[in-house]
Amino acid sequence: MKILGIDPGTATTGFGFITLNKKKICVENFGLIETDKDGSPGVRLINIHKELRSLLEEFKPDVMAMERLFFAANAKTAMRVGQAQGVMLMAAAKSKIEVVEIAPGTIKKMIAGNGRADKKAVQKALRKVLGAKVRSQARKRTHFDNAADALAVALCYAYTYSKGGEEIG
């Protein structure tokens, strides 16, 4: 099974592709979809859609697992991320790919063993499971944070699927 994990955002969206074969999990690719912070909201959404469609065509995942939007203190940020999620849902629908949304606390609990784990704990758990291949390749820490979050979403789905497809989220 091929799984695409998504950590949605308008400025930076993390993605992580993993495969699950006979309960063996392999990282295929991970990275970012970035938009111009000075671009108009509409143009940024078009770019997210276009880049995600390209990734979907290249890797042909069986499912797209996306981190569910949680309540944000900043309503404007929550709206923007919600808009980006809508564009991502549309891209997946056009590619006829199932989408599963998973709550952040569920992801943290399943990956790091604690629903309130911080990013460091999640990344440490990811490296333990997925190996040293999962390292930051950019100078900006946020780059790896977004990609790592996306890999965590994909891994959470893989764990659930391998346990018989119990409902998650």
Amino acid occupying residue 162: S
Q: Which domain holds residue 95?
A: 2-162
Report the number of distinct structural domains present in the chain: 1
Alpha-carbon torsion (134, 138, 139, 141), positive or negative: negative
Residue-wise pLDDT tens digits, 94-108? 999 999 999 999 999
CATH of the domain at 67: 3.30.420.10
Specify the pTM: 0.89
Task: Indicate the burial class of 103 (C-beta count within 10 angstroms; 0-12, 13-18, 19 or more).
Answer: middle
pLDDT at 142: 52
pLDDT at 45: 98
d(C-alpha 53, C-alpha 34), whole Å:
14
pLDDT at 73: 74
pLDDT at 167: 44
* Residue 91 pLDDT greater than 90, yes or no: yes
Residue 168 inside a domain? The answer is: no
Q: Which residues are catalytic?
A: 7, 67
| The three-state (H, E, C) secondary structure of 54-72, written as one string | HHHHHHCCCEEEEECCCCC
Residue-wise pLDDT tens digits, 10-34? 999 999 999 998 878 999 999 999 9
**98 assigned to a ligand binding site:** no
**67 assigned to a ligand binding site:** yes
Nearest Cα neighbor of 8 from 50, 61, 65 is 65
* Residue 46 pLDDT greater than 70, yes or no: yes
